[in-house]
Structure 1
């Protein structure tokens, strides 16, 4: 909140013109804010992977873009400057505003210039936005000079008086119908309400990660409620607080379902189960005889609606499904492993039985186990998106982290991780890395830091976060970070980011922090922070207090196996 207030206070003075045609690419979904009220109000979002031209640069933290008849502001940390835009449908800004749309819920905005609709932004509920043109059931709107379409089911139309848009050029020819597009590029199709019935067993996919995830299989002849069918290839159904998709070619649209057990997807709690049996069907219990209608994946988490005796109830596509408690385990969240220093047994010396050191043999054995059980090592960014409930992750997901940026990770962790196809995050004390010589020879009697060259050479396995620039020290039992003025903490973290500018993750030295430290971490632009608190991580948990687990010389292999399970054994 402090950062946002500072933004509002300095906005009139921080403004400077930016080179025309500067284009940004959104790295992850970014919020668009309106500051005209004196506080920041969310008016929409920009989708990951999409490009937009900016109108002005507002210093270190903000871009200004056109947003309807005024301006919106986007945080730079979610973007990258790129050489060119990736869209075709450029339009002149609207010079005369007559009518508006007002979303009745979050309204997706689509680009229709390709073979399928692509969402590139959203409008927030209740935000008035001028209409550029109409096309059947769709409203065309000019989003920062880009033509987008919003379906009428998401909005209401509002008539208004002519208003000159000072955020435009002088083009007033806005009532002319759009040029008819070639038939090879379809117009946005109209939404079809109703239900789908599977004409064969059909897989339901989640597309929110880079790779499509199969969530469940709808059995032949079974039905689910449609949320939307605008895409020419897929039909959208609700799943918890998100959506999954069935191929249109494998379903038929019907008006009335034969099932009665309607469920409310949005009523889901923040509790999940994981199927642990190959017999993972969910049943319709509205009739006397149990009728399976979908099969769940044993490497997925499913939201729990409620528990009835020995049965757990979930909802898929607006339909309640029951699964027996003997077939599931209660999800406890994503484990994040914390490692530091690795040595061979004969090299331990003064590090024998030190909790932050383990042997290379033990580490290799743990990684081999994860590989044998098909664990997926997720990035810090994917963990962040999971905790924001923006994506789901396989049940057997794990994040691997290394604190202190030690050279022993080059010797003993990197080869093992690379051989297993694993990814991990290193938290660096960047002053030490900055002052380490390239090509240094490993000395197991010392604690050496990775050099910049080491970091570059290992970026196919490691991403890098911050462990401060030079605040990883204890004064008595207290971390130095807790004992210095706030502005000095911020300055140190800014120096750290200067060395690893892509860093979005931070780890608290010695696991010590307080509210001021969290604010400093947020202020300099970190989107998440890791603690040494023991536990697992779930959607809606605090992303600035991420819990971790550790393995050391005293950890048995059996203890490690139980530790990394996504559910209590």
Structure 2
């Protein structure tokens, strides 16, 4: 066994980028999508950050067919060539010599955005992973300058902790524009503010074909304009994104009548959900509570700060207060995990098995979601949400099934279809590939869906991967963790040959490690689902998506509490 383990370690090490002969390169690459930066100094690939999609970087060295080497702080990082394209020239201007000696460091307390400040606004071009230690190149106000390869970036002090008793020796450089969390927007119109001539809805258009009402600006109230060039809508900042109001319902004014100016982009990665019909936010700058906007009770709103019993948010550069009794703290989007369904009299050997529940229990759970107006969202919308590209209704939920079992055809499919719900199946595609067409259901056995079954249920289910044929246990360890790395990649690619549109992988038995994640990325997956309990929020790791499950022992009250978007 020790010889086998040693052989496996040597095989993994042979795949790491430091084993290849390096050649110097001034190549410029552009990232096609968000691309992970790895540290290989421990002998394993450890994620230390990401490069944002569409950004350019001058690589330090070319490592053959699979890897680029870049300078990541005071060590070398590696990015996969798979997610990059060579381009003629870099698109940024903030060059820096990373060789300058530095001694001070910061440590990221969470996923930390890195910004370019050379334009009229801050542009995120990379992130630091939680817990990563990084040298400081310069400091100005609330911002730290750091050298990402040969590009100067800025991180805000709220995301990091600085090590004490050290002196920064890096070359001084300018702080971000105006030394603020975000520079003031460039006005595209001489009229910098709007005033509602009637109650005016603020819309978010980022969800495809699903316009979302974010708030209502009350008649006579004002907000700061971000852009007014569109013939129909005025653009207003909201957090790190924008909302839109119809021009026909506002007028332009040159100066604001309010004093409670707020910085939308300084919002924390924390959110609240209004739980009261009285969901107005108030201006308190005069000592009185003056409502200026009404929030939607099925939305999550970013938190700027808390003051005593009040939470503060911002819309359009204006701070709004809402009392803590009117809100609940958002805990993220729940992802439900199911496997096998049977009628009560069919349970037999599946009685009290955690991966099996009755059709009646499942029906009651789905009926509850319907009664509370939950929206079942796709895993791709979840991905967008976790990348902070869209917001989602507070009452959003993802429904998943592992293993691709025939019982989902018999019991889950008609219930989901009845309620107009969508769900995702994670298929062990080897089993589905060889399942007979038009098979009869046998409740005493675990049967896999056939290709015919899969195609017949596409109006409810989307299909993702649970591997091709790695869903087995060897002792207490999943087979996926024991076979050679290259075999894992080949298995996953074979799975994609059967479900070519798949972009997500559910790890068998919830077991995975760093190399598993990298194999999934190399095979072409962009999401990974675990069995870790919890909820999912913006900037969480999309290759470690958390899930929740109920079983035969779960009470209905426990289920209601579990799926709630906030703790009750």
| TM-score normalised per structure 2 | 0.71
- Equivalent residues of 1:284, 1:322 under 8 A apart: yes
CA distance in structure 1 between the partners assigned to 2:552 and 2:16 by the alignment: 42
- Equivalent residues of 2:190, 2:254 under 8 A apart: no
Q: CA deviation at 1:190?
A: 5.1
- Find the counterpart in structure 1 of residue 204 from structure 2: 206
- Find the counterpart in structure 2 of residue 268 from structure 1: 267
The 1:448–1:383 alpha-carbon spacing in structure 2 relative to 1, beyond 3 Å, is: same
Q: CA deviation at 1:3?
A: 11
Q: Does 1:32 align with 2:43?
A: no
Q: Could you list the per-position Cα deviations for residues 151-184 of structure 1 after superposition, in whole angstroms to 9, with x for gaps in the alignment?
A: xx999xxxxxxxxxxxxxxxxxxxxxxxxxxxxx
Q: CA deviation at 1:539?
A: 0.6
Q: CA deviation at 1:34?
A: 4.3
CA distance in structure 1 between the partners assigned to 2:233 and 2:16 by the alignment: 41
- Equivalent residues of 2:227, 2:234 under 8 A apart: yes
CA distance in structure 2 between the partners assigned to 1:320 and 1:34 by the alignment: 36
- Find the counterpart in structure 2 of residue 297 from structure 1: 296
Q: Does 1:194 align with 2:216?
A: no
CA distance in structure 2 between the partners assigned to 1:103 and 1:213 by the alignment: 30
- Equivalent residues of 1:534, 1:548 under 8 A apart: yes
CA distance in structure 1 between the partners assigned to 2:60 and 2:407 by the alignment: 51
The 1:259–1:538 alpha-carbon spacing in structure 2 relative to 1, beyond 3 Å, is: same
- Equivalent residues of 2:82, 2:522 under 8 A apart: no
Q: Does 1:217 align with 2:180?
A: no
CA distance in structure 2 between the partners assigned to 1:207 and 1:4 by the alignment: 42
Q: Could you list the per-position Cα deviations for residues 454-473 of structure 1 after superposition, in whole angstroms to 9, with x for gaps in the alignment?
A: 11111111111111110100
- Find the counterpart in structure 2 of residue 350 from structure 1: 349
Q: CA deviation at 1:525?
A: 1.5
CA distance in structure 2 between the partners assigned to 1:192 and 1:328 by the alignment: 37
Alignment of 1:506-521 (within 5 A): 506-521=505-520
Q: Which runs of 5+ in 2 are unaligned?
A: 1-14, 26-31, 34-51, 62-67, 71-80, 92-117, 124-150, 153-183
Q: CA deviation at 1:386?
A: 0.4
- Equivalent residues of 1:224, 1:319 under 8 A apart: yes
CA distance in structure 2 between the partners assigned to 1:32 and 1:501 by the alignment: 25
Q: CA deviation at 1:516?
A: 1.0
The 1:553–1:9 alpha-carbon spacing in structure 2 relative to 1, beyond 3 Å, is: farther
Could you tell which deviates more after superposition, 33-42 or 424-433? 33-42
Q: CA deviation at 1:201?
A: 0.3
Q: CA deviation at 1:32?
A: 3.1
- Equivalent residues of 1:347, 1:445 under 8 A apart: yes
- Equivalent residues of 1:205, 1:246 under 8 A apart: yes
Q: CA deviation at 1:391?
A: 0.4
- Equivalent residues of 1:193, 1:227 under 8 A apart: no
Alignment of 1:160-175 (within 5 A): none
Q: Does 1:552 align with 2:547?
A: no
The 1:367–1:4 alpha-carbon spacing in structure 2 relative to 1, beyond 3 Å, is: farther
- Find the counterpart in structure 2 of residue 494 from structure 1: 493
CA distance in structure 1 between the partners assigned to 2:185 and 2:324 by the alignment: 39
Q: Secondary structure at the match of 2:53?
A: strand
CA distance in structure 2 between the partners assigned to 1:32 and 1:387 by the alignment: 18
CA distance in structure 2 between the partners assigned to 1:3 and 1:327 by the alignment: 52
CA distance in structure 2 between the partners assigned to 1:105 and 1:350 by the alignment: 62
- Find the counterpart in structure 1 of residue 440 from structure 2: 441
Q: Secondary structure at the match of 2:426?
A: strand
- Find the counterpart in structure 2 of residue 480 from structure 1: 479
CA distance in structure 2 between the partners assigned to 1:340 and 1:276 by the alignment: 33
- Equivalent residues of 2:191, 2:253 under 8 A apart: no
Q: Could you list the per-position Cα deviations for residues 513-561 of structure 1 after superposition, in whole angstroms to 9, with x for gaps in the alignment?
A: 1111111111112111111111111111111111110011111111111
The 1:308–1:526 alpha-carbon spacing in structure 2 relative to 1, beyond 3 Å, is: same
- Find the counterpart in structure 2 of residue 116 from structure 1: none
The 1:553–1:70 alpha-carbon spacing in structure 2 relative to 1, beyond 3 Å, is: same
CA distance in structure 2 between the partners assigned to 1:322 and 1:4 by the alignment: 51
CA distance in structure 1 between the partners assigned to 2:511 and 2:265 by the alignment: 37
- Find the counterpart in structure 1 of residue 145 from structure 2: none
The 1:9–1:556 alpha-carbon spacing in structure 2 relative to 1, beyond 3 Å, is: farther
- Equivalent residues of 1:3, 1:523 under 8 A apart: no
Q: Does 1:388 align with 2:387?
A: yes
- Equivalent residues of 2:239, 2:267 under 8 A apart: yes
CA distance in structure 2 between the partners assigned to 1:485 and 1:383 by the alignment: 31
- Equivalent residues of 2:196, 2:221 under 8 A apart: yes
- Equivalent residues of 1:265, 1:315 under 8 A apart: yes
Q: CA deviation at 1:31?
A: 3.0
Could you tell which deviates more after superposition, 278-287 or 190-199? 190-199
The 1:506–1:193 alpha-carbon spacing in structure 2 relative to 1, beyond 3 Å, is: farther
CA distance in structure 2 between the partners assigned to 1:9 and 1:34 by the alignment: 21
Q: CA deviation at 1:562?
A: 0.7
CA distance in structure 2 between the partners assigned to 1:37 and 1:476 by the alignment: 44
Q: Could you list the per-position Cα deviations for residues 61-120 of structure 1 after superposition, in whole angstroms to 9, with x for gaps in the alignment?
A: 57969x7x6699xxxxxxxxxxxxxxxxxxxxxxxxxxxxx844478xxxxxxxxxxxxx
The 1:325–1:429 alpha-carbon spacing in structure 2 relative to 1, beyond 3 Å, is: same
- Find the counterpart in structure 1 of residue 401 from structure 2: 402
